[in-house]
A = this chain, B = another copy of it.
Amino acid sequence: MVEVCLPGTGGMLPLENRWTASCWGEFQGTAILIDCGEGTQIALKKAGCKLSRLELLLITHFHADHIAGLPGLLLTLGNYGKKTPLTIAGPAGLGQVVASLMTIAPNLPYPIVLKELDGETRDFDLFGIHFASMHLQHGIPCLGYRLTLKRKPIFNPDKAKELGVPLHYYKTLHAGQPVVLDNGNRILPYMVLDGERRPISICYCTDTQPIEEISSFAHGADLFVCEGMYGDEAMSEKMQEKGHMIFSDSARLAQRAEVKQLWLTHFSPAMKEPEQYLDAAMSIFEHTAVGYDGIRTTLGP
């Protein structure tokens, strides 16, 4: 199972009551953060996210509201005693941007591993998770991410007991390795497993115009986190020009993508009460939630 949380849901700049948009995911004790605007380190603490578990930071693009908190986060991880590497992945140019920002965060006590996602390295596997990325439409290079968490098949302890498998072999068999018992019997994983479990998919798309490719990229996701700068239909044209969406754009993408649920995020500072546009969005895609700082869910059994 995976825990997902949005520590912040704002666009453009941090506000007193709304941090800049980011997404936190935890899977088997490893945490992943998408984007890190100014103040995200505070937002994470407020949302109860354990910074010490952070192993991977995905950056969507290099606008300040998505990366300005990087130096502060890197230093705070060091103060927390981090020694293991932090991987940072993002669009082409990542190395130069991170190096520039590290002017004020030098000499970290842990290594930084950079992954520029370009050309053939657009997708990668890490921590048992498949990370896919797609180019969004936002004026500057900007990536949407899809995380697919492969899960172990279902283990059936009754079958194991029937075969006389001692407890200490369960983990090995569950991981797909055969074992030989003291009596010489060879036990193969399929003999104690109850079939595959569907992977869990989370898709995160911000900032972008509502391009059709997003609905293929997000198709069938358990959770689709998608930007919506405004709920008001009157802002539609202006947002398109600025490389953004309104709630109805996001809801239509979610509907075509047949996702399980949609969380809206990345609200304009000028939109004080995004919740008032929920009904309109739900009339397009029922399983819509208007995100808020700290919104959290658990996916998968």
Contact = CB atoms under 8 A, between A and B. Distances in A.
Interface of A: 12-16, 37-39, 41-42, 45-46, 62-65, 67-69, 71-72, 75-76, 79, 96-97, 100-101, 103-105
16 contacts: A12-B79, A13-B41, A13-B79, A14-B39, A14-B42, A15-B42, A16-B45, A38-B38, A38-B72, A39-B39, A39-B42, A62-B103, A63-B104, A64-B75, A68-B71, A100-B101
A151 B79 CA distance: 46
A64 B104 CA distance: 5
A103 B101 contact: yes
Please tell me how many copies of the chain the complex holds. Answer: 2
Q: Which of A12, A14, A62, A97 has the most CB of B within 10 A?
A: A14
Q: Which 9 A-B pairs have the closest CB atoms?
A: A100-B103, A100-B100, A38-B72, A64-B104, A64-B71, A39-B39, A68-B72, A68-B71, A64-B75
A39 B68 CA distance: 10
A62 B104 contact: yes
Contact of A64 (B12, B62, B105): B105
Q: Which of A14, A46, A64, A97 has the most CB of B within 10 A?
A: A64
Contacts of A12: 79
A16 B7 CA distance: 13
A196 B72 CA distance: 47
B101 A97 contact: no
Q: Which of A63, A71, A103 has the most CB of B within 10 A?
A: A103
A71 B71 CA distance: 12
Q: Which of A41, A42, A76, A97 has the most CB of B within 10 A?
A: A42
Contacts of A63: 104
Given A14-B41, A63-B104, A68-B72, 7 more contacts: A12-B79, A13-B72, A15-B42, A38-B41, A62-B104, A64-B104, A97-B104
A72 B76 contact: no
A123 B169 CA distance: 74
A37 B64 CA distance: 14
B42 A75 contact: no
Contacts of A103: 62, 96-97, 100-101
A108 B138 CA distance: 19
Contacts of A104: 62-64, 67-68, 97, 100-101
A266 B294 CA distance: 29
Contacts of A64: 71-72, 75, 104-105
